[in-house]
Amino acid sequence: MSALSKWIESVVLRAVGPEKFGRLEYQLKPRRRASWGGPMNGQAGRLRICRDIVTTLSPTAIVETGTFRGTTTEFFAQFPVPIYSVEAVPRFHFFAAYRFRELRDRVHLTLGDSRSFLNSLAADPTVPKNNVFFYLDAHWNADLPLAQEITTIFANWRQAVIMIDDFAVPGDSYAYDDYGPGAALNAEYLDRLGRTDMHRFYPSLHAAEETGAKRGCVVLCNDAHVQERLTALSSLRPALR
């Protein structure tokens, strides 16, 4: 997008507000519905991991942090379980809200901070608290919410599985987010949490064979039964400790 186009969009956004702008953007810019090359950054290998996890564990709900425009949310919505997703940027939240206007009974979207969002879900008795799949993608700057997100999830959900997008894969060339000292999404970041109950898994597919943006990920669990079932998936490999 050119500098002029960005300026025009910013003027329109200020003039009409984020809710109307998000709806207009959805209607007038259909190419943006497949942001980042499609769901999961356009990565066929990542999509396979998610399908394997859902097929094997049959989660009772899927929780996503970082809705953006809802491209990956739409992928999750194909599974017949409740979807809960949060987005911090109003413009993107309202784009996704219009996108899922006919699925509001099952795709629940929230505008806000991912940490507050997870605390609200934890306190909500209508939200399943066992066997839930979490997809964490609400990291855009050095104010990383991951540590608090992981702590909240494992404290309030039993047999939870967490996938973190944009994460470094040891020994491979997958891209990942690095916001400076102490703010890189890598194994050291998880080590600093000091958890001895957390099992890690990485894609078994090498980055060179992946499609799309080739962004890395890690899958976490803290339940022995879940660990055993994830270990049996050929799309994942346990971390070497």
Cβ count within 10 A of residue 17: 13
Region 102-126 average pLDDT = 97
| Residue 233 predicted with pLDDT over 80 | yes
Question: What is the C-alpha separation between 150 and 142, in angstroms, rounded?
Answer: 17
pLDDT in tens, 131-188: 999 999 988 776 789 999 999 999 999 999 999 999 999 999 999 999 988 899 999 9
What's the mean pLDDT in 17-29? 89
Residue 6: the pLDDT is 79
Report the chain's mean pLDDT, rounded to a whole number.
Answer: 94
User: Where are any strands of DSSP class E within 22-167?
Assistant: 61-65, 83-87, 107-111, 132-136, 161-165
pLDDT at 241 over 70: no
For the CA atoms of 7, 101, 133, 168, what is the dihedral angle to 10 degrees? -20
Number of helices (H) and strands (E), helices first, in the chain? 9, 8
For the structural domain made of 3-238, what CATH number should be given?
3.40.50.150
Distance, in Å, from the CA atom of 51 to the CA atom of 54, rounded to the nearest integer, reads 5
Angstrom distance (rounded) from CA 161 to CA 232: 15
